[in-house]
Amino acid sequence: MKNTVNVEKVNLTNRRSFLKLSGLAIAGTGLVMAGCSSDDDSGNPTPTPTPNQNPGVVNGVFDFGGGDVGILTYAYALEQLEANFYTRIVNHNSFGSMWNSDEQNMLEEIYSHEVVHREVLRQLITTAVNNNTSMVLPTLEFNYGDLNFGNRSNVLQVAQTLEDTGVAAYTGAGKFISDVNNLVLAGKIVSVEGRHASVIRSMIDPTGGYFAGPDVVEPTTGKNEIMLPSQVITMLDQANYITTPFTANHLINLQ
């Protein structure tokens, strides 16, 4: 029993260091996402989104728009969701009792990263639309239904879903980004999100056999799962965590 405790302590320390290092990715050298080349695996040219499809309210509902700004707005919505989710975790009255000190530190690190991602994307979009706030996705409202933030297992399962989906979403959207600077930023963010996903999975299964499971990483190629915007948006709609109405008319047909 003593050896088991020592191994677990080392694992937690390693994961904490791993996560702290990941925070440097947003300011350091970014990783290029899988699927970001000009051709997909089939050899077919990657389709180019129609430009000048500005985000904004259409028929009373905010639409993400198209092109790079549309993809960034889509990512901004995901980061708003993740930042809100971890804000609720670290501010819940059971935070100090349900998680040990190492886990608290890791969750607080993830929370901080998600807030940074959200704010970086908000500023980037605001600059891209020349400070026209009507073209910037507003602050979204969220509702997690009957999710009990005082239930460790339930919280980790939702966290895993959000992190895995976030990685797959960035990976799937990367090939539709045309500006190399936007692509580099997205690559930096997805590298951090991948570390988040691994840390959450390791908290679920501390033995180390789950942190990069075959359900999200293809065993023979090492490639991450890829989800197109249409798939992610469908998942968000089914989960119903985002209560603010939105549309993505220029993104849902990207293939």
pLDDT along the chain (255 residues), means of 10: 34 46 38 35 44 86 96 98 98 96 96 96 96 97 96 96 94 94 94 91 80 59 78 93 96 92
Instruction: Check residue 3 and give its pLDDT.
Output: 34
In 19-152, where do the E strands start and end? 56-58, 61-63
Distance between the two ends of the chain, CA-based, in angstroms? 52
- The DSSP call for residue 207 is T
84's tokens: 């809100």
Report the alpha-carbon distance of residue 210 to residue 78 in Å, rounded. 24
pTM over 0.75: yes
Report the alpha-carbon distance of residue 75 to residue 90 in Å, rounded. 23
Instruction: Check residue 8 and give its pLDDT.
Output: 37
Report the alpha-carbon distance of residue 172 to residue 89 in Å, rounded. 28
Instruction: Check residue 211 and give its pLDDT.
Output: 56
Could you tell me the CA-to-CA distances from 6 to 3, 10, 13, 16, 18 in Å, in that order?
5, 6, 11, 15, 18
Report the alpha-carbon distance of residue 233 to residue 80 in Å, rounded. 14
Select from 243, 249, 193, 205 the least CA-distant residue to 75. Answer: 193
Report the alpha-carbon distance of residue 20 to residue 122 in Å, rounded. 23
